[in-house]
Structure 1
Amino acid sequence: MEKRPFDVGIAFERIEEAVRPWPKAALFQLAEEGHTSVFEQLLACMISIRTYDEVTLPVSRKLFAQARTPAEVCRLSWEELDALISPSTFHERKAQQILAIAREVEEQVGGILPGDREVLLSFAGVGPKCANLVLGVACGTPVISVDIHVHRVTGRWGYVSATTPEKALLALEKKLPQQYWIDINRLLVPFGKHICTGNRPRCSTCPVLDMCRQVGVTAHR
């Protein structure tokens, strides 16, 4: 098949429709449910690290049913918090980190976590991917969050070429129009889970096959 030039605007329109039947990425789903504060989004993002969305969502909901603010989290013991998030990977360490963040926010910034990237990155357990995702979802800040799906899919398209998610972020910041910076994670997470999968992607049902260069694809469905 002769490929047409890649048009990211058309691609995102098609993918928006294609992923409609699938669950939304966890942080975007939680925001729709009203968990829109920077603090809530940060906690959900920390819970999601090395953890499937299918686990992240119910764990986050369970935590937020008990505590949604730094003050409420501070009232929990480590044992109570650890029990609430225990299905999440590395929950013991995450419980320590979440408690430390809640206490710092309460003591140093008046109990309200600002949407400031440097502040978020100053916390143990929070990296650039998590900080960017929180700022994008909670604050609408135009930032790109590159996870395994965004890295894989944009590389397969031939849109950017990068060996790591960190390098993909830099490449996308130079090439991707800013209007798509938040949506790229919202759309490519479900797209990467259900269509452009890690092994044997479903190219036969892909809405952007006519533009995708299929870089590195040796077998597909």
Structure 2
Amino acid sequence: MNAKKRQELFRRLSIAIPEPTTELVHHSTFELLIAVILSAQATDKGVNIATAKLFPVANTPQAIFNLGVEGLEDYIKTIGLYRSKAKNVIATCRMLVEHYDGQVPDTREGLESLPGVGRKTANVILNTAFGQPTIAVDTHIFRLGNRIGIAPGKTPLEVETKLMKAVPKEYLHDAHHLLILHGRYVCVARRPKCEACVIYDLCEYGAKPTMGPVPVAV
């Protein structure tokens, strides 16, 4: 996909999605960190249901650490892989208390030192909480990078690296959420909603249906 098409693609997405941000409910950087850790292989909706019960009771590293693994499991047992996630969250809270004065680190190195935090989670926190131009390649972004032709790659890191070079600078901060939300609601995995897609004519997906003109954001 050439630079002119990429520019137009993100221009249209930014109009169609005027407030691109995470759908994980949070009121602090720490709450966002815990929600993102819990969201691995789980839906945002499912995580929000669990954290709506957890955060009113414990929403600081010390408070969640005080719950212990079993106590935390009671709040998050509706989420997939909740046992391993509970262990990681408790270990992360302990590290935040003992090494970071209860504060979420604002560097990739610091974030990735936390149990249960990998590159994708670190990118979400750096982008959403600290305003850094990072792109967390989840299943939606990996699919779109390859499907629409903007950043084809065989691994999440390859797609991320290509996106960081391909996305126009003025859209780099919001690109992460623009692509996720487009992938979540329009360019879905099994039956993409091409008839509702504002970038249909720019997309290089070979299997998309032949259609007439679609509404274009102006």
- TM-score tier after normalising by the smaller chain length: 0.7 to 0.9
SS of 1:66's equivalent?
coil
Residues 51-200 of structure 1 aligned to structure 2 (within 5 Å): 51-200=42-191
Equivalent residue number for residue 216 of structure 2: none
Distance in 2, matches of 1:63 and 1:180, equals 34
User: Contact 1:150/1:184 (CA < 8 Å) preserved in 2?
Assistant: no
Q: CA RMSD in A?
A: 2.5
Q: Map Cα deviations across residues 144-183 of structure 1 (whole Å, 9 max, x no partner).
A: 1111111211222211221122210111122223433332
List runs of 5+ in structure 1 lacking aligned partners. none
Distance in 1, matches of 2:158 and 2:56, equals 38
User: 1:26 is aligned with what amino acid?
Assistant: E
Residues 1:213 and 2:210 are matched in the alignment: no
Equivalent residue number for residue 8 of structure 1: 6
Deviation for aligned residue 1:195: 1.1
SS of 1:115's equivalent?
coil
Go from structure 1 to structure 2 and tell me whether the alpha carbon gap of 1:162 and 1:4 turns closer, same or farther (over 3 Å shift).
Answer: closer
Distance in 2, matches of 1:196 and 1:135, equals 25
TM-score, with length taken from structure 2: 0.86
Aligned residues: 211
Go from structure 1 to structure 2 and tell me whether the alpha carbon gap of 1:24 and 1:113 turns closer, same or farther (over 3 Å shift).
Answer: closer
**Mean Cα deviation higher: 145-154 or 55-64:** 55-64
Distance in 2, matches of 1:177 and 1:18, equals 17
List runs of 5+ in structure 2 lacking aligned partners. 212-218
Residues 36-47 of structure 1 aligned to structure 2 (within 5 Å): 36-37=28-29, 39-47=30-38
Distance in 2, matches of 1:76 and 1:220, equals 55
Distance in 2, matches of 1:54 and 1:13, equals 28
TM-score, with length taken from structure 1: 0.85
Go from structure 1 to structure 2 and tell me whether the alpha carbon gap of 1:4 and 1:112 turns closer, same or farther (over 3 Å shift).
Answer: closer
Identity %: 32
**Mean Cα deviation higher: 168-177 or 88-97:** 168-177
